[in-house]
A and B are shown apart, each in its own frame.
Chain A
């Protein structure tokens, strides 16, 4: 075929032309193969489902100590977000984890959430929202939902609310010389210049005698989240004292001024009831005039108190954050921890004045008010409904 005459045979041309025309025709048909294909959108629903499961059913990583207790500087140690209370309680979330997860000042959308909740190499856009029943407030992170198709996953959840002890003294009345009879269970007031009110937590009781066969969802547990022996699922404890203005009787004719002078923590390894000759609690482990590690609100102020002594009028609200007491107890679950508020009673000029006030040192059997599952003044942890939406596009 190869010669130097410069001609191509007609047959060759015909054959080649047929081939080329067919090739061009076939090549224009190929794009119709791609009609149904948008590879990234195929798995939006799958990614949303996976993210929904991770957030609603997994407690997160690290688990012990729990990720929401890590300080702001250790964000890189948080490997995976998870809002569930524990692996055994799926769909039951804790308020601390929710608050930390939705903290947009700390975590950046989308990079921080992509590596810890959504995963995957493709840079998805997403929106995660949570709303509690009966509330108009929706917490959310991420972009606004688009109009076109997006993958979504909706989870019905419950949030474990903190327990609280509410003691109301508005109906206090003292029959002269006798302690009042219509007080909340176990509280005893007496006539003195320095009064102490204590609340104590018996951890071995709290961790083994919980309702629902010790279900974590109903357990009172201020020890965790960083307790030893894998104790998890910690929550805060709230103590509300209201109606305190009715307690002082002002018998000297001068109005008594009450100051909360300190908050102390005492520890005991075993119960030693009053009258056995032993002091139930030893310490203090912490004797503080700086209550900032708690959240202490006096008389309805919205900002916490930062320095004691502080005058007390009508009510005190003390919130013990989860995990705080584990440090005091050395992480030992058999500890009894006692939180004591000391009150100084004076007249208007700073001179000590004796009067009736809150005092639990004579409460049987341990000289303190027990935070337990049966006291009618204690509202037990309860589960509140909510819904969580995950959208990925």
Chain B
């Protein structure tokens, strides 16, 4: 190998340098077009409105129970409704239990497979 001439290696070297810079450029450009998409997808993915909605309906049913406007049996029916519908329609496991009736003290659990939410709600 010592006898082979390496005088023209700089041409190939320039070729390599130019190629590598193209790769780098392509990487940058590819990442930048994804910015808008990932923002929208993460907004769609995070179930903010679902959690707020199901939480408010749980609290409402617990308050109705605490003020005696619905009986314990009716409250259990509503609880069953929420859990069953949530699993089949919203694809989320939802559970809540009343820790104390008056003032309302509620433990809420929500999990849709991607996001998990737990709360202990105390009526203000």
Contacts and interface: CB of A to CB of B under 8 A. Distances in A.
- A adjacent to B, CB under 8 Å: yes
Interface of A: 1, 12, 15-16, 19, 23, 26, 30, 33-34, 36-37, 39, 42-43, 45-46, 49, 90, 213-214
Contacts of B29: 33-34, 37
Given A39-B32, A49-B43, A19 B26 contact: no
B8 interface: yes
A2 to B, nearest CB: 9
Given A12-B8, A42-B33, A43-B35, A19 B63 contact: no
Interface stretch (B10-18, B73-81, B85-93, B109-117): B10-18
B63 A213 contact: yes
A16 B36 contact: no
Nearest to B21: A30
B45 interface: no
B33 A37 contact: yes
A19 B15 contact: yes
Given A23-B18, A45-B40, A36 B8 contact: no
What are the 8 A-B residue pairs with the smallest beta carbon separation, nearest first?
A46-B39, A42-B36, A213-B63, A42-B35, A1-B7, A19-B11, A39-B32, A43-B36
B63 A42 contact: no
Nearest to B64: A213
Contact of A46 (B7, B14, B32, B40): B40
Chain B residues touching A, majority SS: helix
B71 interface: no
B32 A42 contact: yes
Interface in B1-50: 7-8, 11, 14-15, 18, 22, 25-26, 29, 32-33, 35-36, 39-40, 43
The prevalent SS among residues of A at the interface is: helix
A19 B14 CA distance: 9
A95 to B, nearest CB: 24
Nearest to B18: A23
Contact of B39 (A12, A39, A43): A43
Contacts of B40: 45-46
Contacts of B32: 37, 39, 42
B123 interface: yes
Interface in B49-87: 52, 63
A30 B39 CA distance: 28
A34 B43 CA distance: 27
B27 to A, nearest CB: 11
A307 B15 CA distance: 88
Most buried by A among B35, B36, B63, B123: B36
A382 to B, nearest CB: 20
Nearest to B19: A26
Given A23-B18, A33-B26, A34-B29, A16 B39 contact: no
A170 to B, nearest CB: 40
A34 B15 CA distance: 22
A30 B28 CA distance: 13
A229 to B, nearest CB: 11
Given A23-B18, A30-B25, 7 more contacts: A16-B11, A19-B14, A33-B29, A34-B29, A39-B32, A42-B36, A43-B39
